[in-house]
Amino acid sequence: MEDQFANLSSYERRVIDYITQHGGISSKEAVEDLGNGRLSGTIHNLRKKGYNIQTLRIDTENRYGEPTWYGRYVFGHD
């Protein structure tokens, strides 16, 4: 049986594993936990390879109490 991760880079494999284990990943988590400073690029590559990854908009406040948002990447449902 062919390894399903054979055509993935180490960054891509780590992101897939992280989403599987934690239910999603944000840019902050990618930098802090995986050392991946270009999560959006990794997600783009995974999508091109057929992975169904969706972006959830998470509304929050910045350090000044102003509204802002960030993206959290999760597996989509077919």
**Is residue 4 one of the residues assigned to a domain?**
no
**Is residue 34 one of the residues assigned to a domain?**
yes
Q: Which domain holds residue 48?
A: 10-75
**Is residue 5 one of the residues assigned to a domain?**
no
Number of helices and strands in the chain (H, E): 3, 3
**Is residue 52 one of the residues assigned to a domain?**
yes
**Is residue 41 one of the residues assigned to a domain?**
yes
- What local confidence, expressed as pLDDT, does residue 1 receive? 35
Instruction: Kindly report the backbone phi and psi dihedral angles of residue 16, in degrees, each rounded to the nearest multiple of 5, phi listed first.
Output: -60, -50
Query: pLDDT for 5-22, tens place per residue?
Result: 779 999 999 999 999 999
**Is residue 58 one of the residues assigned to a domain?**
yes
Q: Quick check: 39 and 25 in contact, CB under 8 A?
A: yes
Domain count, the chain: 1
**Is residue 26 one of the residues assigned to a domain?**
yes
Query: pLDDT for 18-77, tens place per residue?
Result: 999 999 999 999 999 999 999 999 999 999 999 999 999 999 999 999 999 999 999 997
**Is residue 3 one of the residues assigned to a domain?**
no
Separation of alpha carbons 62 and 44, rounded Å:
26
